[in-house]
Structure 1
Amino acid sequence: MSIFGLFKSKGKKTPEKPVEKLKVKEGQELVCLNKNNYSKLLSKDIPETDQFELSEIKVNEGEYFKANQTLFILGSKIHGSGLLYVNLPYGGRIDNFLIKKETRIGLNDELLFVHKIEDDNALNLKLLEQNRPKLEQTEVSYQEDEFTDAKTIKITKVASEESEYFKLYLDQATLAHEYLGLSLVNHNGYVYASFTSRNEDITLAKGDSLIMLFEDKSKLNFTFSNAGEGTKGFRFNHSPIGFEELDILLNNRLTKVKLISTRKKLYSIYHMNHKINENQSFSIDQSAQYQTELEGQYLLQLMTARFIEMNKTYKVK
């Protein structure tokens, strides 16, 4: 036996195993940080020597996302290039993040593995399945005033929001507050559709009207016979709705809504295909009520079904 084997060397560390890099699997895409997959807050060019850190995650590992949706946000740490909103021109699922909170990231560095889904219908079904628990947090309440004996059935929560309104978004809307709200109420037997508008030009004034157009070309028409309420940019009004009309709302696909100002001769179009949080270029934290048109249809029909069911349970007159 060698005498040298009797002594342990001091200060000599066991070599660490190199970190095994994940390999791209079949059907996966490796995403790197380049100008094709981010939008940014500032318009100036990014220096090649700038570095970024993870600021906020919007979509987690294992979750599905739609095209151009913000997946996570990176913040500049050297040259003050501002925030980068990482998004992809296609939809899919995040399989693995290759960065952590403290990771310094340079241009062209590897960010994540995603599973690309090119079939929009398949992707929308996955998103609906993923987001259904949130959509299901929609509530209709029966309320009775013990002092006046007034009885009311109304929407009290929509898709986990403490709001009574289902939201249709302004055509090409990129801001979550650009919506037309719809709710349903039965107060002492008077059943009506309640609307709220954030449109400063169309104030839901007396004589203004609203047309709902469905996929089968059927329509629901509402004309406001009373003066609207609220402040500029946050208006309310209502119009009666019958159970036959509710049945149309329940069983038909709503394609768009036209809101009309009679006095100003203006109109705006609203629907469920919004672009909120797509190709983001501002730091306002926005939350859309639903992500896709399919989710919006599901939510509207769910809300309507629960309202009808509550009216069957409580005969409010």
Structure 2
Amino acid sequence: MRVAFTSCFSAQSFKQQPVWDQIGAANPEHLLLLGDSAYYDADGSSISMVKAMDPDPFARHAMRRLRDQLNQPQFAKLVRRKGLHIHPIWDDHNFLWNGACGAQVFEERLHAHLIPPTRAAFQAYRDALDAHEPATFPQPSDPWRSDIKEPGYRMIDIGNAANPVRLHLTDGRSYKTAGGKDAVLGAAQMNALASAIATSSEDTVHLVASGLVFEANHGETWMTCEAEHAKMLELARNRRILILSGDVHENRFAVPQPAGKWSLFEATSSGAALRTGVTIGALQCNWGLLELTPENVVIELSQLHMPPRKRVIDRRTWKLIPGP
């Protein structure tokens, strides 16, 4: 089984997006889009502009940005590929704005009127990806639905009896508190994730899709929420967990975190089609690929003008196999 993953891309300034051709050539069965499929607050817009919008103008703004991405030719070609399952989650820039936290927005009530249209835009994006057809995305004259719930947590079994793999799609924005100190996922979502992991067979590989990086001591990270960070490490004591994260506009492997007899692993791929500072800095074409067999999990991270970097995890011991 092959699972590709990446995050952070913008159709506004990046009309050519070769990353999708590269991913298509790898022929994955699944593609994880780990947040920031559009930038509502950058690339010709700003945080202040978004905060000043009423619901209808914001809905049109968000829908237009997602529609532009769906119609980007290389992305559209990949979306239309039958047999490829695309799983998006959202992060701050295609939720509201940089660093936006759902719990804080609701508590302050200043911009809570933007929550219904952003949910509607993201759901329409998910629907178009599920349909394998960008043309199903709402047109500018179409009304947006005001009754859409938050994406929340979803679990999908994507493996089989010989190669059990469970995918966990998280929502790191709807329940996140300011700075993430009290919550990244929130209690209900964290409990659902924990239950889905704990009730699986011991040989299942758990892929946790996260907009935020797990191991980082600066920026937005799970480490700011000690309780949820500790809970993930506790779950990893008895289950095989690999976190796939985005957000930071670079590819990187985290140092495996000891969790009892096993370790918790993390691979980050961010910057599919933008620059390090969205529109300034070095051009990015970053993505990752997992090859999951009953014996190993092979992780490759690819980026512009550099050979892929590889890590191999032995599924039996859940330890890294030393490379050359």
Pair in the same fold by TM > 0.5:
no
**TM score, norm. by length of structure 2:** 0.24
Larger radius of gyration: 1
Q: Which has the higher strand share?
A: 1
TM-score, normalised to structure 1, is 0.24
